[in-house]
Structure 1
Amino acid sequence: MNSDKKILIIEDDELMIKILTFILNKEGYQLSVIRDGLSAIEQLHTINPDMVITDLLLPYKSGLEVINFVKSNYENKAIIALSSLGEEEHSVSEAFKLGADDFIAKPFNPNELVLRVKRLLNH
């Protein structure tokens, strides 16, 4: 089990939160959920996750701002960016430039999400 690994999910869509928490809880990860970028930045130090999974479109601070903050202050944290299909390609490439380790388009295959999370957390 992965009970020693903490994942912070930053997502404002309730259905997506339910899907992500269901999939990752089943894998045994410790999860924290925050619904906006500003709160995520403010609480990151307290939560101290091993991985951040963030949507790119968030209230108050964007996912790109969150990625930039995480990589500027905690270089050892893995980051997966989430974005709906059809959202700007520019945002995805910007996420990688800022230091995101992976990108998953919504809707995604649950098995693919689990494989990517495990790959980043077990390297």
Structure 2
Amino acid sequence: MKRLGWILGALLLCVGFVIAQNSKGAVISSPAPEFDFGVIKEANGKVSHTFVIKNIGDAPLVITRVATPCACTTPEYSQEPIAPGKEGRIIVTFNPAGRPGPFFKNVAVYSNGRDGAFTLRIKGKVE
């Protein structure tokens, strides 16, 4: 009888391990992680782009924070979880005031869908 208990326990552990291996959790993705504003005029003020974020995993995706390299770049995003297979949005705004010339900015998106940051990029040239 003890032997049967051990066999059933081992079987349950194996089944649990297989289920855990097939579950990938939340996975963050974006069909277009880079955006080029092209040439923009400093006098025209701020420019914005909306990035689409997808959860291609099988658990809810939670964006915990979005970090930008300087005060010239600001993000807006919802802290509501993104369900598996659904999309969310991150709006990135760049202020060209006092920043003539080319610009390249990385925006780090931290979530439960990846170790480290998922990177979005904006670029362009300020005249």
Report the TM-score range of the alignment, normalised by the length of the smaller protein: under 0.3
Higher relative contact order (CA 8 A, sep 6+): 2
TM-score (norm 2): 0.26
| Bigger strand fraction | 2
Q: TM-score, normalised by structure 1?
A: 0.26
Structure with higher helix content: 1
